[in-house]
Each structure stands twice: as C-alpha cells, then as structure tokens.
Structure 1
Amino acid sequence: MYPTVKQLEAFLSTARLGSFSAASESLHTTQSAVSKRIAELEAALSAELFERSQKRPALTTKGRALLPLAAQVVDLLARIGEEMLDPDPFAGRLRIGVTEISALTWLRRFIEHAREHYPRLTIDPEVNSSRTLLEQFDDNALDIVVVPKIDRWPSGYCNIVVGTLSTAWVASPQRFGSKRRIEPGELADYPLLLQAESSVTARVHEVWLREHGVSARLATRTNSLPVLGQLTIAGLGVSVLPTEFFREEIAQGLLAVFETEDALPQIEYHAIYRSERGEPVLKIAALIESMCVFHRASD
C-alpha cells in the first residue's frame, strides 16, 4: 500500500513543528487523526518514523531519510493542483511546428512578442518538413503548425491564412549573364537546383515545370534553403528562391531574377489548429498572422 497525501502531510507537520498537537492545529484536524495517519504511514512503509519514548516526538533514522522525499511529493502535488486550477489559459507550453523558412524569418519575432504578451507561456518550436509536421500534429505531438497550403486539410482541423511566400527563378549573373527574361521551356537548357522532394513548395514548382514541358528528374536537390541559395550564387544552376528572403543578395547583384511569361504561383502559408483548443490557440494564430513576413530574422 502506498502512502497517502494526508499521511505525508501529517508526518511533515509533526516533524517540522515538533508535536502532534501543533501538527493537528496546522492541518485543522484532531491530534488523534494526526497520530492515526502517522501510524498508518509507518505501517505502509514497515518502518518506525518517530521515537515516542521522549516528551517530544523525534525522527528516527528512517524518518530523517523520508523527510526530504515526503516534502518533494507534497510540494509536487501542490504544484499540480496550482497548474490545473490556474485560470490563465496562456500558462504552460505551446508546441508549434514550422518549416525552415519560418524558422529563419518570423519565428524569432513571434517568440519575442509571445513572451511579452503571455509571460507564463513557453514556446517549444519544432522545425521540420510540412509532411512530418502534419504527421506530428495528427499524433497530438504539436498544438499548432504553420505549413504551406495543401490540396485538402484533414477533417476536424481549423486553418487560417497567415502569410504568402513569393518565389521566382533566379541565377548567378556572373555565371549565366545579365539576361532578365526567360521562356519557361528554356529552363530545360539549364541545370536546375530545387528543394528536396519532401517540400510542399518544391512539389508546387515541379507541377509548374511539368506544365511547361520541363523535367526536374535531374535537378540537384537540398533540404536547406540557405544552402540552395549558396549553390545558386556559386553558379551551379538556376533555382526557385523566395525573393523576400534573398532580397539582399538580389540587391547586391549576387542573384538575378528571371521574368517568365507565366509567373510562379504564390505559396499560401496556413496556421493549422484544432477547434477544441479554444480561444487561446486562435489568438496565437492571429499573432502568427501579424508576424508572418518572410524577411530575414535580422531585418
């Protein structure tokens, strides 16, 4: 049989106050009730906790060993009660899943503002591919995810548009010259640099390529956006990059943007959450919407 909370409280009060009568007053009960609880605790642990031969109860060796452990248990149970009864809906942890570009841009500002507005809320970010984030969300491992729009959201999920990502075909002007306009079909003549196949945005761009008769089968791929940018600047191929994220490199002439007759589609980003999470998660989604701009975090 395990000790009960009341037994441990009786033991702690008696040990700290030095008498059964003082403990009973502290616990708002009778002295006989305190004595009974301690006797039950000793029976449960098969150990004598107090020397009763003296005028005042003194802890035995076993009692001294139990004292810090009992204090930890009672304190922990008190904390559990405080957390469960806490009326603040923005206390605790929020598990948010984002893709790499969000982590590199607006996520830092979002965490700063969340701490300012909700100081008792801790943000735990998870950075991964859209597919993995949605799987984790489906398994209740995440409270809210921010991912590119997919064809159909699973039933029961709520979503709001929080931002739009603009992309364009870009290349190194030192490697491919100063040409600023290109026909979509001409991309077949260039080595292509694309994001990994697990990326939703990469799949959108591949559909665009297929519609214009260009195969992405031989494209060089990476799951890192900064690496993709560096490979493009080095002249290793033509790639699709988010123009806001790489605006400094474009302004410096390290990257040149190709205009195409049929522009690439913009990528909508959505915050996905469950309706049963209530108003707090809806306010968090609104805060994300106000923060979600795909500039560098240092901008």
Structure 2
Amino acid sequence: MLTLKQLETFVQVVELGTFERASQRLNATQSTVSKRISELEQATGLRLFDRSRRNARLTEEGERLLELAYSTLSDARRILELKARPEHMLHRVRIGFTELAALTWLPGFLRDYTTERPDIRLDITIEMSRTLYQQFQDGELDLVVIPQVPDAFAQPGVETQLLENVEMAFMAREGLVEESQPIPLSALERYPLISQGKSSGFAQDINRWLSHQGMSAATLTADNLLALVGLVTAGRGISVLPKRCVQRLAHDQGLEILETIPSLPSIGYHALYHGGVRIQLLEELAQRLAAAADFTRPFFLSERKAQTI
C-alpha cells in the first residue's frame, strides 16, 4: 500500500543525499528508512535509486516519481490545513448567466462581491439559458440566473429566487411601422419578425405567447442579443426586446417602442440553485444577486449618459 510516510521518506532521501541523513531528519532508524523505500518501490513497481553508488542517486523512474511526490505531499498539507485554518477555506461556486445579465448588472456585481467575499471563488459561465439549464441539471453548474423555466419549479431539491421581472416590448426602426399606436398584434404580421433562437429561454417564452395570439414564428434569428439589436436598428424587421435596456443601448440609433394590443408579458428572471449541504451559501448568494439585479442599464454606459435617456 502506498502511504504518505513512504513519499515523505523518499523526498527526504533525495534532498539530503543519503539514507543516513534522511533517518536523522526523520528521527527514524536507517533500517526504517530503507524499509519505507523498499515498500514504496514494491507499491509502485518502480526502481527508484541506483544502489550501485554510495549516495542515493535517482533512476529515471525515480525522477518521474519525485515530481508527483512533491505534488501529493503539498496537497496533503493543504487538506490538513482545512481543519487548522477553516477561516481560509475557499468556497468554489460554479454559476451561469445569460447575455442580458452580462450586458447589464453582472460586471458591477462581480466587482463588489469579490471584494466583499474573498473566501468565495465564482467560476462564471455566460451562455444561452437553455444551455445553462441543461448544465445545471447535469450538475455542471451550482447556480444559474435564467428566465423562468416551469419544469424547474417542480423538481425536488431545486430552490428558486426571483431576481427581477424584465419588461418586454416590440421594437423597430423609426418609420418602419406606419400603423397608429397602440397596434393590434395582427397588424404586425406584415413585418419580418426577428428573434433569438431555440436556445434562448425568453425567446421561447415570447414565441409561445405570440403563437397563442395567432402570430407566425420568427423569420430571422440571431442568438447574440447585440446582433439582434443591430438587425432591428438596420430596419430588417421588428423584434421583442428587453424594453428599458435596449432603449438605453440603442440611444440615438433611431429605434422606437411599439405599443401593442394586447401588451407583452414581462419575463421573470430567477436564480436556480441546488439544495443540499451548501444550501445556506447558495441561498445567501441568490439573495445578494437579487439585490444587485438591474436588467435595465447597460454597464458600459456612463452614469450621466444613462440618466439622460
């Protein structure tokens, strides 16, 4: 059986050059040191030292083992330090966000939260909501911030926290839609509808709602939100977009909001996280996310410019 004592003895013999010096450092007999090295060679099937020489000279196999021995002993020390110094434990949380969060409040949250909680390391994934939800189900993410997924609320062991209801609106380039507002949805059928693809949770919710209202599916898709806004700005069609965020994002770009009958529903963005032994940590993080969430202001707009929009 391979043991840490064998690896420690091996490292000491290498560093001090002889079995005799290693036995003195380890406060053990020379025969004990020799026995540990023999047991290590038997456990690994490797010949570690060239015993034809007076000093303990490593073989090529011993050289390869030495690097792994250092790494293993270092990891073992860190494990033992967890109990001795619990205040220095680093909690790793794998967390996923959609593009809308990344464009708005996420950078500010990360800046503040990492300062407040240096004991927590957030591993961030930015993806489409359907992909994030699948990774969450597969156990690859601990917490995700995505539009409401009805299936998730029925799953045992999944906790949810509402962050914000995001107001949605039809938008188009000024002058593209000539009808007087508010516009019946049926009147918008003559304009190309641009939407995010099937991997977008909010696009799927909106498309489902539009289908119930009798509207046709989108004729053009763009998974990237900024690309979608660009297509609308270029006059290629109309789209359902996060109202206040895009208003600020597309300031001076000639976009207008189309008031419709009926008006569009808001989309609820939730934090989903797994229950279990870390539920308190994840619950506190979800509450902190809820306090920071503001899907209305692109992070790269200056405060003064945002206030004038």
TM-score, reference length from structure 1: 0.84
1:296 shift after superposition = 1.1
Q: Distance in 2 between matches of 1:27 and 1:279?
A: 44
Q: Distance in 1 between matches of 2:62 and 2:218?
A: 72
Aligned equivalent of 1:201: 202
Q: How does 1:120-199 map to 2 (within 5 A)?
A: 120-152=119-151, 153=153, 154-176=155-177, 179-199=180-200
Select between 147-156 and 273-282 the one with higher mean Cα deviation.
147-156
Q: Distance in 2 between matches of 1:96 and 1:226?
A: 22
Q: Distance in 1 between matches of 2:180 and 2:229?
A: 19
Q: Distance in 1 between matches of 2:196 and 2:41?
A: 65
Q: Distance in 2 between matches of 1:183 and 1:136?
A: 39
Number of aligned pairs?
Answer: 295
Aligned equivalent of 1:75: 74
Select between 80-89 and 244-253 the one with higher mean Cα deviation.
80-89
Q: How does 1:241-280 map to 2 (within 5 A)?
A: 241-248=241-248, 251-252=251-252, 254-276=254-276, 277-280=278-281
How has the CA–CA distance of structure 1 residues 178 and 250 changed in structure 2, closer, same or farther, with 3 Å as cutoff? farther
The answer to whether 1:104 aligns with 2:106 is no
| 1:91-139, Cα deviation, whole Å (9 max, x unpaired) | 1432112222122222222222232122243322222232222221111
Gap regions ≥5 residues in structure 2: 302-309
How has the CA–CA distance of structure 1 residues 114 and 184 changed in structure 2, closer, same or farther, with 3 Å as cutoff? same
Aligned equivalent of 2:222: 222
Q: How does 1:50-61 map to 2 (within 5 A)?
A: 54=54, 57-61=55-59
AA in 2 matched with 1:203: Q
Q: Distance in 2 between matches of 1:255 and 1:198?
A: 26
How has the CA–CA distance of structure 1 residues 109 and 249 changed in structure 2, closer, same or farther, with 3 Å as cutoff? closer
Aligned equivalent of 1:285: 286
Gap regions ≥5 residues in structure 1: none
1:82 shift after superposition = 4.1
Question: Does the 8 Å contact 2:195/2:218 carry over to 1?
Answer: no
Q: Distance in 1 between matches of 2:86 and 2:51?
A: 44
Question: Does the 8 Å contact 2:88/2:119 carry over to 1?
Answer: no
How has the CA–CA distance of structure 1 residues 208 and 47 changed in structure 2, closer, same or farther, with 3 Å as cutoff? closer
Question: Does the 8 Å contact 2:195/2:221 carry over to 1?
Answer: yes
